[in-house]
Amino acid sequence: MMRYERLAVWAKAEWERAQGDRVFQLLWASESCGNQLAQYRVKPRRKLKSKAYYTGVEQLPCDEVISISEYVVPGRKAMLGETVGAFLFSFEHPDGDFDVLYVSSYYRDDDPNIVAIALVPPEHLDAWVNFESLCNEAVRRPSRRQDVYIIGGTNAYFKPTVDWDEVILPAYIKDDLHSDMEAFFKDGVAIYQELNLAPFRKLLLVGPPGTGKTMLCAAMAKLALRKKRVVVYVSGADDDGASFHKIHHALNVVANAGYPVLLIVEEIDVYLRKDDKARILNVLDGLESPNNPRGALLLATTNYPEVIDERIAKRPGRMDRILVIPPIQDEYLAKQMLEHYMGPQWQDDHEIAVPQLVGQTGAFVREIALHARMLAAHNRQRTVDLQTLMQSIGSLSNQMNTGEDLMPRRRIGFGSSGGNGFGEVVELDGEPQVVEGDLADE
């Protein structure tokens, strides 16, 4: 038997036990009604359509479903959120009180989608539909206080605490990105609407690991928050993987935020490699784009430009802009980066090391600065001298070269001609991950 059939059989028996032969209508129901957040936000005594009042909810024991909740952090403290299980919702009505029996469950073990059914007295359908939509709203609409919405992710970690000035990149890249966001929210949204398009703009940051893409997202988020926009964050690299469920959830939040939204999707390539890729392409193509009347700006990141080649660049409109975030391009930026990460330990003769940092990433410079300071401390030196700094650069470069032999290599580049400004071979970030092929165009 299908999952929903089992739920329906249980629910019918339970209804007959409690309600006798009272007539009911069996309906598909919204998963939001089981959500603890909805149950918290939609208060008893809430007036509904057709003279009904919601009076409360009670959880029922049910052999068919083990009640499981996920938690959410809507404000400062964690709360239970999406919950599967059996519930009895009670309502008052001048013609007589009534109940709705509701059961929800995960569809399958490997499928995070929820099936939910409700048994509703047919004459109270209106009130129930009204109640359901209140629950939907309660779950999807970020409360006023909720500025940053992190979707999924047992290890989701995102703090929009980076200042714009801390990101060291060529000024034209930063200006470009910043003015794109401001122009979109200021004038762009109205233009999209005039053209009858959902105001959804899509920017992609591409570049090798460690060049500051995540940092740039955090800095953009901080700017957005200052302008009272909502930030929604999803990462394809979370422990809980990259199911479309997360994107779907994020898009719901975006569409219903009631505020302009900056939607950050990190490591978007992960989604493009899975079975769900067709759906994410639909989102980019506009078929499943969120329609937030205040505007939504997607800021996506990827380390793999070939994803762009295959899936995105060949199809105009999938991304509105692609910005390459390169490693350190010149000595001016290299010096700025080194000075920044050496902090108070910076000395003028450190400048001699600067040429060696061109072509490296910000993450590399941060590491060598840290390493140099630790070496100095270990050797009981009060300052980091040039020799220690050079030693640190040497040993980290060596380590990276050795690592190259241990890790899978991937060629990158826009097309076969290369010349993309960030070298030919990119090492994978962190542990060696084997990236599946299957990058054929959709």
d(C-alpha 248, C-alpha 226), whole Å: 26
Measured from the CB atom, is 39 or 211 closer to ligand ADP? 211
Nearest to 180 by CA among 323, 327, 325, 324: 323
Using CB under 6 A, which residues numbered 147 to 186 contact ligand ADP?
167-169
- Asked whether 246 and 152 are in contact (CB, 8 A), the reply is yes
Strand blocks (E) in 22-110: 25-28, 53-60, 68-72, 79-92, 98-108
Binding residue for ligand ADP (CB under 6 A) from 35, 211, 292, 345?
211
Distance CA 117, CA 28 (A): 4
- Of 207 and 305, CB closest to ligand ADP: 207
Give me the helices (H) in 141-236, please: 171-183, 189-194, 213-226
Contact status: 289 vs Mg ion (CB under 5 A):
no
Out of 35, 104, 105, 214, name the contact with Mg ion by CB under 5 A. 214
Q: Which does 359 bind (CB under 5 to 8 A by kind): ligand ADP, Mg ion, none?
A: none
Kindly determine how many residues on this chain lie close enough to bind Mg ion according to the rule CB under 5 A. 2
Q: What span, in angstroms and rounded, lies between the C-alpha atoms of 213 and 207? A: 8
**363 touches, from ligand ADP, Mg ion, none (C-beta below 5 to 8 Å by class):** ligand ADP
84-92, 99-107, 123-131, 209-217 -> range binding ligand ADP (CB under 6 A)? 209-217
Closer residue to ligand ADP, CB minimum distance, 115 or 322: 322
The residue (of 213 and 273) whose beta carbon lies closer to Mg ion is 213
- Phi, psi (5° rounding) for residue 89? -95, 135
* Least gap, CB of 301 to ligand ADP (angstroms): 6
> Does the footprint of ligand ADP cover residue 210 (CB under 6 A)?
yes
Which sign does the torsion angle of CA 404, 406, 407, 413 carry?
Answer: positive
Site for ligand ADP contains 326 (CB under 6 A) = no
Does 211 contact Mg ion by CB under 5 A? no
First CA to last CA across the chain, in angstroms? 35
Q: Using CB under 5 A, which of the segments 83-91, 103-111, 133-141, 208-216 binds Mg ion?
A: 208-216
Strand 409-411 to 296-302 pairing: unpaired
CB of 413 to ligand ADP, least distance (A): 17
| CA atoms of 1 and 70, how far apart (whole Å) | 27
Q: Which residues bind ligand ADP (CB under 6 A)?
A: 167-169, 207, 209-215, 361-363, 366
What does the binding site for Mg ion look like in residue numbers (CB under 5 A)? Answer: 213-214
